[in-house]
Structure 1
Amino acid sequence: MTAVEIIKLAIGFAAVIIGVLMFWSLPVPVSSSKSATRLPFLSIIIPARNEEGRILPLLQSLREQRFTQFEILVVDDDSTDSTAAVAESFGAKVLQNNGAGKSSACWYGAEQAQGSWLLFLDADTRFESADGLSHLLHFYQEKGARGVTALQPFHTVERLYEYISVVFNIIVVVGMNLFTIWGSRFRTAGSFGPCILCNRDDYFLSGGHKKIEGAIMDDLALGEAFLEQDLPVRCLGGKGIISLRMYPEGVRSLIEGWCKSFAVGSKSTHPIVMLMVILWISGSFIAAAALISSLIAWNPASILFSGILYILYAIQTAWFAGRIGNFKMAVFPFYPILFLFFVGIYLYSFIRVNIFHSVNWKGRKIKV
């Protein structure tokens, strides 16, 4: 092997180690409590815009919960489908919000809520078991019932194109700054968005969604609003508690969804974490390029070491993916395709945000 090949392989193996440091763990809420008798009344607030095809599993999972001391407020954000009718059929109270956007819908729901605690859920989430809600609530209670506890739902995959989200899902979690080997040493970037639990007093003290209205990354901005009031923000994985299926409508919806948030959200990632992310992604391409070049040159030693590096990257990416979704192992031998898609959409998002200053989402053009 040449000196250049050795250096490239050394960088690739170093990037694998950096990946371990970058995504050391993803804790899930664990509660020691068994009884739900001491939990306060809860208001579940679900902002929804044209969600008739996705909200039903969530409402069904809420109906199946053993803990029942809650109300469901579905804030209809100017839907043109049967979202409101579906929600009402499950006994939810439907509030109309006249198309003012997600943050406005959440704020309006919070104003109308009767509960001491508020749980904001995206319409495409669902609880995984009948005890999922009580586990989350007890965890929050055991942590002092202050500030925010936010979960990143476990990503369920049904169609092949949905696998191209896997690197995005990994980076979204890592980009919160909390899951490196250094734990909470770095300040959190905000909160996860699909599942946010807080108490009523802290929510209104922080200014809630009213304060962050207009923010593209409302989850990050809401977490920041709580942090400004010295309120804790805890972010955890949702495996075993809550799940979601992202962008079931197709590839176009997937691209628009990630474009809407990713280039903006990356600005909140700590520089050290961002550097590790860049090195890990770069290493994935180095590993693939090294294997291809060694096969072309047919250098046995180079094939051996680059092959080991390539397999390590495939296994590591699958390992990380298993923490955040039910991605099948068979896809990861082709991991360079997943990383290429990530880079392409990130660049597209960067151009839309920084040059055109607008993104598209659910039929709306959002200025950034």
Structure 2
Amino acid sequence: MTASEVINLAIGIGAIVIGIIMFWSLPVPGVTSRNASSLPFLSIIIPARNEEGRITPLLQSLQEQRFKQFEILVVDDDSSDNTAAVAENYGATVLKNNGSGKSSACWLGAEHAKGSWLLFLDADTRFTSVDGIQNLLHFYQGNGARGIVALQPFHTVERLYEYLSVVFNIIVVVGMNLFTIWGSRFKTAGSFGPCILCNRDDYFLSGGHKGIEGAIMDDLALGQAFLDQNLPVRCLGGKGIISLQMYPEGLGSLIEGWCKSFAVGSKSTHPVVMLMVIIWISGSLTTAGALISSVIERDPAMMILSGALYILYTFQTAWFARRVGNFKWAIFPFYPILFLFFAGIYLYSFIRVNVFHSVRWKGRNIKV
């Protein structure tokens, strides 16, 4: 066994250990049997642009909630499809935005909201439990009903290409800085975006979405706006409460969406967490390379050691991924493809942001 082979094995082993430290846990709001009578009236605000084909599951899941003390405000952000008609058919109040983006749509919804608590939801989410809203509200109430509680929805996979989002889903969660072995030692990068709960007074005190209009990563910017007012930002997993299917329109949409998000969002990740992410990703590719090299060179000892390490990486990646989505085990023996895709899109995103200063999303060119 050569020195380089020993180094590659050491890198792989170290990266697996780093992975455990990096993604120690992902808590979710607990289930409660408490009575909903103590909960205030809630305004649910859904910004929507051309969501005719995706908003129905969310609206259906809202109708099925046992907690009923809420209004639904769908803010139609200059849609060219039947988003507004679909929302009205489910009893939602539809507000017309002038098409200047998600932040302005959320702000318009908040201005018209009657509730003392505000719940901002992406149109492609859906509640997976009839007590989902109630459990979320009780968690918020139990933690002082201040600041933000944000959930990262559980990713439900329906098509093969969606598995290419595996590493992105893991890094989105890890990049919030809160899920290492040290818990909340590092300052949060901001807020998750698809499901944000806050109270009305704190929202307007922070400046809300109006104060962050124009930000590409509005979720991170909104969380920072709350932190600037010394308001807490709590981020949790959404498993058992809320889910989403990411980019069902196809592979092009998936690439466009992650390109928009990643190079900009990574700037908010703590340097220590970012270093761990880099080591973990590098270790995945080093481990795969060591196994391929041992097979080519027909080195039995190296094949056994690198093969064992490859299997460990397979199980660790699957373990992490199944915290954030319903990814099937069968895909993870091919994990190097998932990491290579992540690296390629990250590089593409970095170039778009730092060289061309422009990304594209939902038919719009966004300057960065």
TM-score (norm 1): 0.99
CA drift at 1:34: 2.1
Deviations 1:72-122 (A, max 9, x none): 000000000000000000000000001010000000000000000000000
Distance 1:81 1:31 in 2: 38
Distance 2:232 2:4 in 1: 48
Q: 1:226 aligns to what SS in structure 2?
A: helix
Query: Aligned residue for 1:269?
Result: 269
Determine if the alignment matches structure 1 residue 165 to structure 2 residue 132.
no
Distance 2:41 2:87 in 1: 20
Query: Aligned residue for 1:127?
Result: 127
Distance 2:261 2:197 in 1: 21
Distance 2:226 2:346 in 1: 28
Alignment of 1:62-73 (within 5 A): 62-73=62-73
Q: 1:37 aligns to what SS in structure 2?
A: helix
Query: Aligned residue for 1:307?
Result: 307
Distance 2:320 2:108 in 1: 37
In the alignment of these two chains, the number of paired residues is 368
Q: Identity over the aligned pairs, expressed in percent?
A: 80
Distance 1:185 1:129 in 2: 32
Alignment of 1:320-335 (within 5 A): 320-335=320-335
Q: 1:185 aligns to what SS in structure 2?
A: coil
Alignment of 1:338-357 (within 5 A): 338-357=338-357
CA drift at 1:33: 4.5
Deviations 1:22-49 (A, max 9, x none): 0000000115442111100000000000
Query: Aligned residue for 2:287?
Result: 287
Q: 1:166 aligns to what SS in structure 2?
A: helix
Query: Aligned residue for 2:182?
Result: 182
Query: Aligned residue for 2:60?
Result: 60
Query: Aligned residue for 1:246?
Result: 246
Query: Aligned residue for 2:39?
Result: 39
CA RMSD of aligned residues (A): 0.5
Q: 1:16 aligns to what SS in structure 2?
A: helix
Distance 1:364 1:99 in 2: 10
Alignment of 1:75-154 (within 5 A): 75-154=75-154
Q: 1:183 aligns to what SS in structure 2?
A: coil
TM-score (norm 2): 0.99
Distance 1:284 1:295 in 2: 17
CA drift at 1:223: 0.1
Distance 1:324 1:343 in 2: 20
Distance 2:29 2:229 in 1: 24
| Alignment CA distance shift 1:140-1:33 (3 Å) | farther
Tell me, yes or no, if the aligned pair for 1:54 and 1:124 is still in contact at 8 Å. yes
Q: 1:188 aligns to what SS in structure 2?
A: coil
Query: Aligned residue for 2:12?
Result: 12
What residue ranges of structure 2 are gaps of 5+ in the alignment?
none
Match of 1:262, as an amino acid?
A: F
Tell me, yes or no, if the aligned pair for 1:33 and 1:138 is still in contact at 8 Å. no
